[in-house]
Amino acid sequence: MANKKRSDLFFYIVIFYVLAAGGWWSYLLYIKNDDALKAKKVILWYQMQGQGATEAQYLQSDAYLNLVAQYDRQQRMIMGEGVVLLLFMIIGIWKIAQSRKRELELAEQQRNFLLSITHELKSPIASIQLVLETFRKRELKLEQTKKLANNGLVDTARLHKLVQDMLLAARMEGGYQYSFEPIVMQELLSECIKLVQPRYKGEMTLHAPQESILKEVDKMMITSAVLNLLENAVKYAGNTEQIDVYLNDKKDKIEIQIFDQGVGIPKLERGKIFSKFYRVGSEETRRTKGTGLGLYIVKEVIDAHKGDISVKGNQPQGSVFSISLPKN
């Protein structure tokens, strides 16, 4: 933190120096030009005075008028170039500051990602290790064995999901080749709900009044996107009783909406949650598991399908995630 403050202070000192130096040198050039004009006026006056010219003749002479016009043009040029130079310097510094801000934000997000990924790996590995050590050291009843084995499987699934998300994010950045095929969306959503339902204490309900088919869908990637949204809803739903999934077949698109009644997402955070490694900075979020990759993957997948994704608040509380996918 101390290094960051020193770096910030140095950065702003350099910015101030560059702006001050640019303004100062422009001012000095302007003054020098003005001084040169005054000196040449005096020289011209002495020359014309020696030839017997009066002051009125001097002020109306072509030599005087041309001299003044020449230096007026130079003054305007200096002022214009100074303003343009300062303007470009300000724009350049603003661009550098924006780029630096983004780099610092990315560095902070990557740091948070490393911290969260360490926790995400450490916790299930420790749990699985404890289960295996218990099996090795103790003779357990059948019910106890089943319970511990189930806990181990849950943690294994958590590790698998984590590794899968990391690999998927890396593959997308490396230029993943999508494979499109026709998909019945009711079937895909039903399969996803069945996979996520065991991790939710309440009820997940699919509302799909009619069969909806998308002709060009990468089934694996869309399944991953829907699973991430459902798991995200479960993660923040807490002890709520209901998560609703709506499938609406419209004229030129299919819309999927996921309603939860959890803690919700502040308005100021909604535009950031699809960024890589980003996690909402509330206390509720910090107590939940996650790496900040899930919603990033969702956004990348939906964009690849030429669709849109948005989030808004649910009433009286919670969030509504909406996906819109074109039929053609």
CATH number of the domain to which 164 belongs:
1.10.287
**Nearest alpha carbon to residue 169 among 295, 325, 288:** 295
For residue 189, pLDDT over 90 is answered with: yes
pLDDT classification of 284: cutoffs 50, 70, 90: very low
Interval 115-144 mean pLDDT: 83
For the ranges 115-124, 229-238, 258-267, 309-318, the lowest mean pLDDT is seen at 115-124
Are 144 and 276 found together in one domain?
no
- Residues 145 and 191 reside in one and the same domain: no
Distance CA 258, CA 245 (A): 5
Using the CB atoms, write b or e for 124-136: b if 16+ within 10 Å.
Answer: beebbeebeeeee
Examine the fold and report which residue of 173, 203, 221 is the final residue of a domain before the chain moves on. Answer: 173
b/e 93-111 (16+ beta carbons within 10 angstroms → b)? beeeeeeeeeeeeeeebee
Q: Domain count for the chain, please give it.
A: 3
**pLDDT value of position 280:** 63
- Write the CATH number for 198: 3.30.565.10
Please tell me the predicted confidence (pLDDT) of residue 283: 38
At residue 282, the pLDDT reads 46
Say yes or no: 195 and 294 in one domain. Answer: yes
On whether the CB atoms of residues 228 and 298 are closer than 8 A, the answer is yes
The single-letter code of the amino acid at 167 is L
- Compute the distance between CA of residue 253 and CA of residue 126 in angstroms, rounded to an integer: 46
Residues 205 and 274 in one domain: yes
15 & 60 share domain: yes
C-alpha distance from residue 322 to each of 38, 135, 258, 259 (Å): 72, 45, 7, 9
Q: What is the pLDDT of residue 245?
A: 93
Which pLDDT belongs to residue 153?
86
pLDDT at 287 over 70: no
Range of the domain at 258: 181-326
Give the per-residue SS3 of the chain.
CHHHHHHHHHHHHHHHHHHHHHHHHHHHHHHHHHHHHHHHHHHHHHHHHHCCCCHHHHHHCHHHHHHHHHHHHHHHHHHHHHHHHHHHHHHHHHHHHHHHHHHHHHHHHHHHHHHHHHHHHHHHHHHHHHHHHHHHHCCCCHHHHHHHHHHHHHHHHHHHHHHHHHHHHHHHHCCCCCCCEEEEHHHHHHHHHHHHHHHCCCEEEEECCCCCEEEEECHHHHHHHHHHHHHHHHHHHCCCCEEEEEEEECCCEEEEEEECCCCCCCHHHCCCCCCCCCCCCCHHHHCCCCCCCHHHHHHHHHHHCCCEEEEEECCCCCEEEEEEEECC
pLDDT digits 0-9 by tens, 233-267: 888 887 888 899 999 888 888 899 999 988 888 88
pLDDT at 288 over 60: no
Tens digits of residue pLDDT in 1-55: 556 667 677 777 877 777 787 778 777 887 887 888 788 888 888 888 888 888 8
Q: Please state which of the ranges 88-92, 257-261, 312-316 shows the lowest mean pLDDT.
A: 88-92
Q: 260, 238 in Cβ contact below 8 A? A: no
Q: Residue 290 pLDDT > 70, yes or no?
A: no
Give CA angle at 90 (86, 94), nearest 5°: 170
Final residue in a domain of this structure, among 173, 196, 220:
173
Task: Report pLDDT for 261.
Answer: 86
Q: What is the pLDDT of residues 151-160, one digit of tens each?
A: 888 888 878 8
**Domain end among 173, 191, 223:** 173
In sequence order, the β-bridge partners of residue 253 are 326
In this structure, are 286 and 316 located in the same domain? yes
193 and 301 share one domain: yes
Percentage above 90 pLDDT, the chain: 14
Cis peptide leading into 198, omega within 30 of 0? Answer: no
Report phi then psi at 305, rounded to 5: -95, 15
The structure tokens 């690999």 sit at: 167
Q: What average pLDDT does the segment 116-133 reach?
A: 82
Same domain, 94 and 194: no
Same domain, 288 and 264: yes
Global pTM value: 0.61
Same domain, 186 and 307: yes
Q: How confident is the model at residue 223 (pLDDT cuts 50, 70, 90)?
A: very high
Q: What is the mean pLDDT of the chain?
A: 82
Instruction: Specify whether 21 is located in the same domain as 145.
Output: no
Answer yes or no: are the C-beta atoms of 219 and 181 closer than 8 Å: yes
What pLDDT, on the 0 to 100 scale, is given for residue 4?
62
Percent residues over pLDDT 70 in the chain: 93
> Same domain, yes or no, for 199 and 234?
yes
